[in-house]
Structure 1
């Protein structure tokens, strides 16, 4: 439970600060993955350490400032330049019109825009389609490694699971609900992307 001291609201401890600031990130579309662990830890301490310049609002303001700086036109161009060539190579190898190519494109666009690093892919797949996609995703990671692709690394896939049955049916504080889902993950220039894929049919 938060506390108020001299009109300033603070998180009760670091655990509560982490929960509240993570929820704020979901609400504002800014993933903690975009900032370093040290920066995040400092922001958490700002939220719960009693001082005239601290408090929850100050911590949220810090996150807003981080997001604004990262989303500036110059920083966007810098990020695009960092991954443009390699993303084009991967999309060409995967074929742009395939689910594989589209997912790489979504991760590229999200990286450039500083969009949430945890998102749901638009197309639903059958379990067999997802299993094939997962195999292709791992193969693409192997291909990338052999070509010494530096900015797209650690291609992994997680088995299909029933999110609702495991108590993960709600997506953050949104109204989106989840049932059967598989996941593919990739690290783009140091940012870990987790792509949820809805599973339908058999």
Structure 2
């Protein structure tokens, strides 16, 4: 049985001490959230450790939300995204997906949902290069690279992480956004 608090007063004292120890203020919690944490600390099934985990998770959510807001503000303030050409819809769409991943703080290696022929990918590479040329020097966007398709299986890179998925021929579009490197993998069908 986990260690638990005998009453809400003890739980309140312990959770306040934990919040202070982790440099966090109770003011970031609504009264309902705080009462839930106290209830967890007093519950014999969960106890003090789970209440501390709940506090830490909430603190993490607040910090992640603040980081997302900072990344969104950086995108909004950057002069580059509005400059995207209407004549490069696929490249603009892919860049939009990478921007969304940047703002959300998601994975940096993404797979494009639609497979392409070599000819279609060649057009996207041309669009990517055109988009890259529009990025101002003071933009948070940089290092646009459009790799030629590679046979990943032939290069010994067929496995996708720790999954059973495999890849064959892929093209890669890379960009750095706010100092973070992103890669969009595009499967080539021919």
Q: TM-score range by the shorter chain?
A: 0.5 to 0.7
> How far off is 1:100 after superposition?
0.9
Matches within 5 A, 1:49-128: 68=60, 72-86=64-78, 89-90=80-81, 93-95=84-86, 98-128=89-119
TM-score by length of 2: 0.62
Q: Within the alignment, does 1:151 sit opposite 2:135 as a pair?
A: no
> How far off is 1:92 after superposition?
5.6
> How far off is 1:97 after superposition?
8.6
TM-score by length of 1: 0.59
CA contact (8 A) 2:71 2:102 kept: yes
Relative to structure 1, the CA distance from residue 110 to residue 164 in structure 2 (aligned partners, 3 Å threshold; closer, same or farther) is same
Equivalents in 1 of 2:149, 2:88: separation in Å?
Answer: 23
> How far off is 1:120 after superposition?
0.9
> How far off is 1:71 after superposition?
6.2
Matches within 5 A, 1:1-202: 68=60, 72-86=64-78, 89-90=80-81, 93-95=84-86, 98-145=89-136, 148=137, 150-201=139-190
Which residue in the other structure is 2:22 paired with?
Answer: none
CA contact (8 A) 1:92 1:101 kept: no
Residue correspondences, number = 133
Can you give the 5+ residue segments of structure 2 that lack an aligned partner in the other structure?
Answer: 1-56
Residue by residue over 1:55-98, the C-alpha shift from the partner in whole angstroms, topping out at 9 and shown as x without a partner, is xxxxxxxxxx9xx47961111111111112548x5366244992
RMSD: 2.6
Relative to structure 1, the CA distance from residue 70 to residue 162 in structure 2 (aligned partners, 3 Å threshold; closer, same or farther) is farther
Which residue in the other structure is 1:44 paired with?
Answer: none
Can you give the 5+ residue segments of structure 1 that lack an aligned partner in the other structure?
Answer: 1-64
Residue by residue over 1:116-171, the C-alpha shift from the partner in whole angstroms, topping out at 9 and shown as x without a partner, is 111111111110111111121112111113xx451111111111011111111111
